Amino acid sequence: MKTQHVLIYDGSFKGFLTLIFTVFEEKIEVSAISPEESVQSDMFSSPTFITTDLEKYNRVKLGLKKVLSASADKQLYFAFLSEIKGIEMQLLHYIKEAFRNKNFSSTDFGNPVVLKINQVSKMVSREKHRMEAFVRFQLTKEDIFFATIEPDFNVLPLILKHFESRYADQKWIIYDLKRNFGLFYNLQKTSYINLEFNRDHKEKSDKSSIYKHCEKEFQQLWQEYFSSTNIKSRKNMKLHLQHVPKRYWKYLTEKSSWQN
Amino acid sequence: MSFERIKEKLNILADAAKYDISCSSSGSKRVNKGGLGNSDGVGICHSYTEDGRCVSLLKILLTNYCIFDCAYCVTRKSNDVKRAAFKIEEVVSLTMNFYRRNYIEGLFLSSGIFKSPDYTMERLVQVAKKLRLEENFNGYIHLKSIPGASDELMREAGLYADRLSVNIEIPTISGLKLLAPDKKHEDFIKPMEAVKDAIQIYQSEKKIIRSIPKYAPAGQSTQMIVGATGESDRDVMYSAAYYYKKFKMKRVYYSGYIPVANDSRLPALGSPVPLLRENRLYQTDWLLRFYGFDIRELLNEENQNLDLDIDPKLSWALRNRALFPLDINKADKLLLARVPGIGLKSVYKIIEARKYRKLNWEHLKKIGLAFNRAKYFVICDSGDYEKRDLSSLQIKGMILHNSTSKFREDYGIQLNLFTS
């Protein structure tokens, strides 16, 4: 019996496709794949670390483009960004089938792996759409529209385009606090950034020193609007919560106040 | 601008606008060329109010002063409410500042009718024009067509707005006479006609000259109040089907009447909003627009009102048992869409998946169809299917027994008949 390997990579998509290359090239039997940061120390077999290699990444990427439709290629990337535990093994399975099975189709929904990747990518796509809706910018004294988010999945790379084309005439930052990186648009282009937050200072104490004076007023106007546009005799909290789950509330201007 | 004054106006004029239920921001296409905003065809709901309705647009009236006295309307002349009016720049500033913070997809501007229809319409157009030409705003704009406004103004409105709408409000002409004696049915129809014609002209010219500007790219919509004049579901939906066909409406909205007046012609203040009925009307609307149903199949002389306890597709299927069961692995796409418990997304997945293998219950459950309803109407590659010769009434009872609905208490009495 062949030995089963546990593979570790840096957590990036480039790293993951490099890993795929290595698995195919060296015909490795894989029992688990895990990003570096979430490696558990009690694993029996000693894990092998795969170093990201752009050339290998590009070869797999090109290869995938040949065997997958554009939408299947996109689904693969979306599903990867879910960061769901064990998704890498499902993706490996998916890619193996795509390369080896001539009749492989990304719409063969009777195939459990195909259906799974399709469904996970839908979940990520929903989260992407939610973030396009739920980002709330606040205008800083430096004239930057600033927003923080904590999405369930790693959707920042997916929402870049949307915000870049929509808010072309204002500087903005969208920062993922969970994953500690963000997007910064400087009126020319968008780049990835890392910020150091001073955790000793409670946010409320310096809110008015960070944001412009008018910011508070517009937030209040928005809150007024939000409550005036509600029809009390149609109250339906169950539906409200279904659409705006509580975990998103703290970043929504209309669901939290300036003081918080 | 004075913050306190704006706040007060916003309260009054958002409160007065909220009975217009449309908040759609989809169906348009505008590219941002260095300014602010775009729309790529997909609408975004930026929030949801506690009544569960989507908040996509800043929906306000320019003013709630009105020369008309329509009984069903909160803004009617004789109603004793606070009145206010926005200045054009104020609406522009609110829209821009809300949009920049990603609160909204754009503006939905309506108005009470002050002085005259043309005077009012002209101001609505000015807001849209200023946003587009001076602020370089490419977000979504929905303008109300004011009944009685001139064709020229309607033509101009469509050059800046993505969508135009005029609310028919009362589904029957007799109802309109009773509740809105100042308004004539023709006044509603005329702007619809003008917009429909303009859309056609611009579209055909665009085929020849590409630089022709867009005219109301997200089309037009209308709204009907339900439950104010004792109209049947058939009255409502036949009207809707007429507006879809005649004026190429993108959407017809149904708004359960919310009592806003003590008037002997209307349901009393405090009467419950007919939410379940509204829900069934929307389901019917979807069956018309996406599922290939003809309205006469769903509502007719024998069935003038929709069942409240089950959805309209299930009602229809129970009346047409001869067509079922269908074979999941063979049935035509259009027929699959008619099976209770199978939505359009499941139809797509079934059609694709069955190219590669015969599908059984396990596949179908994973794909996500509503097994509890569908199982009485289909067979698949499993030996285990409904073999009993059940009557429609029995099937209905079993489905209701195994399902939950937030509306259950509304029809609890009827349900007991089936389960006892």
A124-128: average pLDDT: 98
Cβ of B10 within 8 Å of Cβ of A228? The answer is: yes
Minimal C-alpha gap between B71 and chain A (Å): 19
Q: Which residue has 């859309």 as its token pair?
A: B199
Q: Are residues A148 and A200 in the same domain?
A: yes
Residue A201 lies in a domain: yes
Measure B205 CA to nearest chain A CA, in Å.
Answer: 29
pLDDT in tens, B141-187: 999 999 889 989 999 999 999 999 998 888 888 888 888 888 888 88
Q: In what order do the strands lie in the sheet with B57-61?
A: B57-61, B106-110, B140-144, B163-165, B220-226, B251-256
Contact B65, B114 (CB under 8 A): yes
Contacts of residue B93 in chain A, CB cutoff 8 Å? none
**Final residue before a domain boundary, out of A96, A127, A158:** A127
Residue A245 and residue A258: Cα distance in Å, rounded? 20
Same domain, A181 and A156: yes
Q: What is the pLDDT of residue B186?
A: 86
Six token digits for residue B354: 């069955």
Tell me the chain A residues in contact with residue B256 when contact means C-beta distances shorter than 8 Å.
Answer: 234
Is the predicted pLDDT of residue B264 greater than 60, yes or no? yes
Q: How far, in whole angstroms, is CA A235 from its chain's centroid?
A: 33
Q: Are A236 and B52 in contact (CB < 8 Å)?
A: yes
Spatial distance between the Cα atoms of B283 and B290, rounded to a whole number of angstroms: 10
Question: Do A194 and A95 fall within a single domain?
Answer: no
Domain count, chain A: 2
Q: What is the pLDDT of residues B1-41, one digit of tens each?
A: 689 999 999 999 999 999 888 888 998 889 998 899 999 88
According to the model, what pLDDT value does residue B40 have? Answer: 86
Give the CA radius of gyration of chain A: 22
Q: CB-based contacts of B154: which residues, under 8 Å, 6+ apart?
A: B121, B145, B164, B191, B194, B195, B198
Beta strand A138-139 with A144-149 is: antiparallel
CB contacts under 8 A, A 203-232 vs B, are: 217-218, 220-222, 224-226, 228-232
Whether residue A260 lies inside any domain: the answer is no
Cα–chain-centroid distance for residue B349? 27
Across chain B, what does the average pLDDT equal? Answer: 91
Query: What's the pLDDT at B415?
Result: 43
- Could you read off the pLDDT of B71-113 as tens digits, one per residue? 888 999 999 999 999 999 999 999 999 999 999 999 999 999 9
What phi, psi does A35 have (nearest 5°)? -70, 145
Interface contacts A/B by beta carbons within 8 Å? 160
In a domain, A46, yes or no: yes
Residue A17 predicted with pLDDT over 50: yes
Whether residue A19 is contained in a domain is answered as yes
Whole-number pLDDT of residue B417: 42
Write out residues 11-50 of A within 8 Å (CB-CB) of B.
none
| Mean pLDDT within B250-255 | 94
Q: In A, which residues are within 8 Å of B7 by CB distance? A: 220-221, 224
Domain holding A91, by residue range, is 5-127
pLDDT the model gives residue B414: 45
Do A113 and A44 share a structural domain?
yes
**Which residues from chain B sit within 8 angstroms of residue A252, using beta carbons?**
47
What's the Cα-to-Cα distance from A129 to each of A7, A158, B98, B299, rounded to whole Å?
32, 9, 19, 37
Q: Would you state the pLDDT for residue A259?
A: 52
Q: Do A148 and A101 belong together in one domain? A: no
| Phi, psi angle pair for B178, to nearest 5° | -70, -45
Query: Cβ contacts (< 8 Å) between A108 and chain B: which residues?
Result: 352-353, 355-357
| 257-316 of B, contacting A, C-beta below 8 A | 258, 272-273, 275
Indicate the pLDDT class of residue B413, thresholds 50, 70 and 90: very low
Write the DSSP string, A59-125.
HHHHHHHHHS-HHHHHHHHHHHHT--TTHHHHHHHHHHHHHH-TT--TT-TTSHHHHHHHHHHHHHH
**Domain end residue (candidates: A107, A127, A147):** A127
Q: Do the domain assignments include residue A202? A: yes
Indicate whether A122 belongs to any domain.
Answer: yes
Which pLDDT score is estimated for A2?
65
A 96-155 near B (Cβ less than 8 A): 103, 105, 107-112, 115, 129, 132-139, 145, 147
Asked if residue A243 and residue A141 are part of one domain, the reply reads: yes
A227 and A118 within one domain: no
The percentage of residues in chain B with a pLDDT greater than 70, rounded to a whole number, is: 96
Q: Assess contact for B121 and B155: CB atoms under 8 A.
A: no
Shared domain for A82 and A102, answered yes or no, is: yes
Residue A98 within a domain: yes
Domain boundary among A110, A127, A144: A127
The helix (H) or strand (E) run that includes residue B251 is strand B251-256
Distance of alpha carbon B157 from alpha carbon B144, whole angstroms: 9
pLDDT in tens, A181-192: 999 999 999 999
Q: Are residues A162 and A113 in the same domain?
A: no
User: For B57-79, b where at least 16 C-beta lie within 10 A, e where not — what string?
Assistant: bbbbbbbbbbebbbbbbbbbeee
Predicted confidence (pLDDT) per residue in B265-279, tens digit: 899 888 888 999 999
Q: Examine residue A96 and state whether it is found in any structural domain, yes or no.
A: yes
Same domain, A17 and A95: yes
Residues B315-366: tens digit of each pLDDT: 999 999 999 999 999 999 999 999 999 999 999 999 999 999 999 999 999 9
DSSP B170-200: SSSHHHHHHH-TT--HHHHHHHHHHHHHHHH
Same domain for A228 and A181, yes or no, is: yes
A19-66 confidence digits (pLDDT tens): 999 999 999 999 999 998 877 665 566 789 999 999 999 999 999 999
A214, containing H or E segment: helix A213-228
**pTM listed for this prediction:** 0.92
- Through-space distance between the first and last CA atoms of chain B, rounded to whole angstroms: 66
CA-CA-CA-CA dihedral for A36, A38, A43, A46, to nearest 10: 0
The verdict on A79 and A183 lying in the same domain is no
DSSP state of B35: S
